[in-house]
Structure formats: C-alpha cells, structure tokens
A = this chain, B = another copy of it.
Amino acid sequence: MSNCDACLVSGLSICSVLTTDERTELGSFGHIKTVKRGQTLQWEGEDSLFVANVIDGLLKLSTATSDGREQIVGLAFPSDFLGQPFHSRNGYTATALVDSRVCLFTRTAFDAFTLEHPELGHDLLLRTMDELKSARHWLLLLGRKSAGEKISSFLLELSRRMARVVENQNDNQILCPGAEPAPLDRITLPVDRQQIADILGLTIETVSRQFSHLRAIGVIELPDRRTVEILDRAWLQENAGN
C-alpha cells in the first residue's frame, strides 16, 4: 500500500482526478516498485498483468524486429501512465533508462476500479488521445524528416518535456494545468547516443555527427556528453522541418 498524500506526482498523474477517498481506495491496491536502470518492467506481447504510474525516473517504451532492430515509441516521464488497461497483452516493452519508481496496480483490479469511476476512464481517454497525437506527430518525423531536422525536433521536444519534469520537482504542490513552463536551455540528456538513435530512427554515428555539426555552427554547446546547451533556439525551430 502506497502513501498517496506524499506522492510526488499526485497532482499531475491520473490520480489527480480522484477525490481523496477514491485515491486512498485505489492506492490500497497499488504498491510502489523500484525499477533499476536497464531493468524491464514489461515485455511486448506478454500478458498485460500490471499498469502503473511513473513516480520518478524515466522509462523507454520500445518495439523491436525479430532480428534485433529497435524503435523507441515513447518515453515515460514522472506522472505518465504506463500499461494496457482493458487489454490482455502488452503493446510494447517498458525498460527503465535510469533508476525509477512506479506505482503499480494489477491490471484487472485497475480495470474494475476504472469501470466504477468513469472520471478515471475519462482521464485515461484524454491521456491516450494525447499520446496518439504525439505518436502521429512522430510518424511525420520518422517518415519525412532528414537527420538534421530529426535532431532539431528532438532537442526542442526534450527541452519542453524536461522543463515540465523540473517544474514539478521544484514545486509539486502548485499546479497550473495547461500552463507550459519555459523550455530549458540547458538539457541534461536522460538517454545515451544509441537511445537517441533508436528514438529518431538513425544510427549512433549520424546522431553524433549531427551534434558535432550543430556545435560547429554555434547552435548548441556540448559541455559534456550528457549535457546540451541550446544557444540558438530560433535556429532549431526554423530547421526542425515542421
């Protein structure tokens, strides 16, 4: 049983639509699980036994071909929902990119609870629609953009999402639904070059070359391999190919 009142993401996660009592009830059959970096929470195609809220850390959602080519289909940041409610099989593999904590529910119990609380189902719908929207946006990126445009898009998107995470970490009680925090100009990359390649449908060498190129023309700085500093955001926006 988890302590929802102290939950870092209770204001942004799916739980935020519930009353205190309802949240306590849902929390009574959820529990917190630690997922170590590299550990896989669920495998694509296997039985969908659990759903979860990400409390902190970061996970990648991925699919792969039988011969081992991988495509990352999403990233799950704190407060994101994870898993396949009402479905018997997992649609993707979920692996922790850094040590993470998730609030885990058995799928069937969560399903039943959702059916009794339509507002939860409604919030799930909105979240799923949002994910669908960004997945489709990513289709355009993968299908039609050049390597340079992919990198620019990635940096802008990451800057935006990381800002939300940081915002929530700094002050998780004050919530401004819909209000977007200012994007970060200094990003600590949560993923290595190979994973950037797997997100953008490129190779590690191409990612590296594009980074070097952006640095050479003064658009970004690379203080160390996990940090990107955006010097010319406008340039990135003009060259993201949107």
Contacts and interface: CB of A to CB of B under 8 A. Distances in A.
B140 A138 contact: no
Interface in A52-109: 61, 63-67, 69-71, 73-74, 84-87, 91-92
Given A118-B118, A241-B65, A241-B67, A139 B128 contact: no
A140 B84 contact: no
A124 interface: yes
B125 A65 contact: no
Interface residues of A, number: 43
A52 to B, nearest CB: 16
A135 interface: yes
A92 B129 CA distance: 12
Given A132-B135, A136-B91, A144 B70 contact: yes
A19 interface: no
Given A65-B140, A73-B136, 4 more contacts: A63-B137, A71-B140, A135-B135, A143-B201
